[in-house]
Structure 1
Amino acid sequence: MLDPFAALPFAAAVHPEARAAQRLTWDSRGAGPDTAFVALPGEQMHGNRFVEQALAAGAPFVLTDLEVPRAVRVPDAQAALLAWARHERASNALVVGITGSAGKTTAKSYVAAALDALYMPVYNTIPAIACFLIEASGLGRPLVVEMGIDRPGEMAELMALVNPNVGVVTSIGPAHLEQLGSVERIASEKGLILQGRELALVGQQAAAWYPDAPSYGFAGAHWAGEDLTLTPEGASFRYPQGGGSGSVEVHLPLVARVQAEAAVLGLALAGWAGVPLQEAARRMAGVSVPGGRYRVLPGRFTVIDDAYNASPVAVKAALDALHALPGRRISVLGRMLELGPTERELHTEVGAYARQRADLTFGVGEFAAELGERAYRTVPELTEALLGTVQDGDTVLVKASRGISWTPERRAAQGVGLDTLVEALLGHRGD
């Protein structure tokens, strides 16, 4: 429980009606009888505007500078939240931080399963991480934290907050270029996660950027799985236990190489932390990644739902996975966000790669012609054409950015939203 009357690492005036909470939120819509509200400054408005809404919802307390019922009054709620999080993080003996241009969420899911750790399910913003560190304090389990960045200096801020024992970089490639400027800058910023920790690891795709860091993956990696087999039903490989005690057999249903690499990472960290590898492998076999992140949905034809987000390195990895599967392979690609002035060139490069790895290529929205031989302006037009094309035995990869990106000039760039296409394909299949 989060008791506002307990010793706090900051000066506060606690209202006598404040109560202990189980969780924290910076979004007033999530406040309730068990969830306290932190009133943070936002890009467009301050959280103080929603304090009354949080109190009406029953929030046990609110962290704010306002004099209101159940307030934990502080001069600066954001500074207090971060100080609280840094203080509570110290109670956890093992914290794994994961960053990369692609594959963070997948790696987080497999590492958490391998270590039987707590992890944040979706968000990876600084306020979300701070709330997670506070809520997880004292529970006696390892923590796995996804540490994504989209601006210079953000990783340094995250490192000061999370202070991970283990730092992992999954991959390096063009992403968030509008703020970070170049792939070299991305590698430099993300590489801060590898400095000064007990253990540093990098995925094989990122190894060229960090030649002094041990890598994980398959052939040629420092921590390597062996005899990888990929089928539409999933992946299988062996992982050496060391000390001449044989290998662990790993079976992962409905996954591709990127998930198998994440499982190798999980086993490497399990071995390092003294977790039995057989137990780690068993837990990882049950991992279910969030919707839109390379979910294989078999049926009359197979749909690969990877429509949550996209960057050039992630799209190419997904195309490689598609290419390894049998039958007619169809790629359906949409716009990748936050690529800066080189975005047309990068879309052209990815589209050329798609033509090499897939039998049919579809593109939609801006840069549709660059991404696919069959180009469509809108998702409904694409949907009608694709449903008239797909056949039994096909495999259809659906990948794009679906969110909203803000440029430095604050102009919104809208993602594609191909999740509706996935629903249409499953409906057409009769699911």
Structure 2
Amino acid sequence: MKELPVEDLAQVIRAEPTKSTNAVVAGISIDSRTIRAGDCFFAVKGANFDGHDYIGQAFARGAACAVVGRDVGPGPNILKVADTVKALGTLARWYRSELGFKVVAITGSAGKTTTREMAYHVLSRQFSCAQAPKSFNNAIGVPLTLLSADEDHEIVIVEVGSNAPGEISQLAEIASPDIAVVTNIYPAHLAGFGNIEAIIKEKASIAEGLKGAGKLLINGDFEELVRHCSTIKKDFITFGEGAGCDIRAEGLVSEGISGQLTIEGKDISVPLAGRANLLNALAAWAICEQFSIGVEEFAEAIRTFEAVDMRLQITKSGPITIINDCYNANPASMANALDCLSQVGFGHRKVFICGTMAELGARSGKLHRQLGKLVAESGVEVLLAAGDFADAVAEAAKTSACNDNFEAFVFKNTNELCNNLSRFVQRDDIVLVKGSRSAKLEQAVVKLDVNKFDA
């Protein structure tokens, strides 16, 4: 972050007057445990913690100032505001306008993180780039990503997510992107949106924050998205497989742990499993092309890309192979993961450790039953399902199974599943682990790695 006097920061966020020194802010943090000397600590109140309780620790670690939303007692460099999260967004919006870097903002129902990482991997070869260290895609994460950039950065790539209507447009106003991207549209977070039409409207609202000459890139294979974007007062560029797309890929082939697609006559190898990752590569190419990256350069760079943690990440643990895709889940990403399992698992027994798909609202039961049917059709031989809709998945899978040897087991929660893994996983199995973030199925991955299953 470019250094900023505390007095100037207070003016930007319109903090109440306070005793001040000549301190200078060199970074921003919301975690008192990771404060560095010179950081400004924003006291954020969460569901399980309140940053105001850790003001003392923040200053003890060298914080230059603290932004608070309630009285915490007298002291120098305590900046009081009505809402610390809104103040963080205000600071990020101002900071973004002060520095000259370009901003790429990526949204969509799936593939945001991998697309971001791919674009960063390619663009950072020619430009000084910054990106979020994790999936920082909300009202806290987007500002933190922008504020992590410094004067030398030329491009900042952010993710923009949403659980309810109106969130993306607010984040887009903060980020003010030069390039906004919608990767795809699928049923996700239906509890907050209700229907696919609302999801389309929300994702497309990223265009509301575009700078004057900014570019909107959308997946042209989603007709309803294209139709909606045709009604807003923004030109857009489409990418996809369809003949009408402005940026087009052909010949997508996913085989085991890698795949290939053809762009502008160039065959491009992507060292990742799953067809969805080929489409993520296409979205990344659409971004990179806006910065005059050539297709040859893109192909050369993308072939060295490595899988993102917990996104179709394939690892070995002793004699078993794990497909770790447990960061999150919706119906579309479940289908892609099962397709990957069927390819990678050829010739091996296929085990699916399945968690709940969260936030699907009134359609949760139906969508989990559809998942169970897909599990059976994908050739899974052992289903280990945990969580609220585990019964629905298991029963639908049993009903649809053509394999007489198919087995399904249901567990109340992830802990119970983990405690029983050694009963069901065998040597040489291919194990897919996938569920929504709330399922915390990374615990199962750890258990698989600890056990090794050498017996």
Whether the TM-score (by the shorter chain) exceeds 0.5 is: yes
Task: State the Cα distance separating 1:307 from its structure 2 match.
Answer: 1.2
CA distances 1:76-113 after superposition (whole Å, capped 9, x unpaired): 54444322211221224421111122221111111222
Task: State the Cα distance separating 1:41 from its structure 2 match.
Answer: 4.8
CA distances 1:50-78 after superposition (whole Å, capped 9, x unpaired): 32221122212223466423334556544
- Equivalent residue, structure 2, for 1:103: 111
Aligned counterpart for 1:310 among listed residues 329, 342, 364: 329
Asked if 1:210 corresponds to 2:226, the answer is yes
Does the C-alpha gap of structure 1 residues 380 and 38 become closer, same or farther in structure 2, counting only changes over 3 Å? closer
Does the C-alpha gap of structure 1 residues 224 and 297 become closer, same or farther in structure 2, counting only changes over 3 Å? farther
Q: So what's the TM-score if we normalise by structure 2?
A: 0.80
Asked if 1:136 corresponds to 2:149, the answer is yes
Q: So what's the TM-score if we normalise by structure 1?
A: 0.84
Contact 2:175 2:209 in 1 (8 A): no
Over aligned residue pairs, what C-alpha RMSD do you find?
2.9
| Structure 2 gap ranges (5+) | 231-235, 399-407
Task: State the Cα distance separating 1:400 from its structure 2 match.
Answer: 0.7
Distance in 2, Cα, partners of 1:17 & 1:335: 51
Counting aligned pairs with the same residue, the percent is: 27
Single out whichever of 267-276 and 388-397 deviates more from structure 2: 388-397
Distance in 2, Cα, partners of 1:324 & 1:173: 23
Matches within 5 A, 1:389-428: 389-390=424-425, 394-403=429-438, 415=439, 417-426=440-449, 427-428=451-452
Aligned counterpart for 1:169 among listed residues 154, 157, 182: 182
Task: State the Cα distance separating 1:164 from its structure 2 match.
Answer: 1.3
Opposite residue 343 of structure 1, the aligned amino acid is S
Matches within 5 A, 1:18-417: 19-42=23-46, 47-64=51-68, 67-72=74-79, 77-90=84-97, 91-116=99-124, 117-122=129-134, 123-195=136-208, 197=210, 198-203=214-219, 206-211=222-227, 212=230, 214-218=237-241, 220=243, 221-240=245-264, 247=266, 249-298=267-316, 300-325=319-344, 326-328=346-348, 329-362=350-383, 363-372=385-394, 373=398, 374-378=408-412, 379=414, 382=417, 387-390=422-425, 394-403=429-438, 415=439, 417=440
Task: State the Cα distance separating 1:306 from its structure 2 match.
Answer: 0.7
Does the C-alpha gap of structure 1 residues 375 and 92 become closer, same or farther in structure 2, counting only changes over 3 Å? farther
Single out whichever of 289-298 and 14-23 deviates more from structure 2: 14-23
Matched residue SS, 2:260: strand
Aligned length: 412
Task: State the Cα distance separating 1:24 from its structure 2 match.
Answer: 0.8
Contact 2:249 2:282 in 1 (8 A): yes
Matched residue SS, 2:252: strand
Q: Which runs of 4+ in 1 moved over 6 A?
A: none
Distance in 1, Cα, partners of 2:417 & 2:46: 37
Contact 2:169 2:209 in 1 (8 A): no
CA distances 1:225-274 after superposition (whole Å, capped 9, x unpaired): 3333322231233322xxxxx52x43332432222211112222212211
Distance in 1, Cα, partners of 2:421 & 2:296: 43
Task: State the Cα distance separating 1:349 from its structure 2 match.
Answer: 1.3
Single out whichever of 340-349 and 44-53 deviates more from structure 2: 44-53
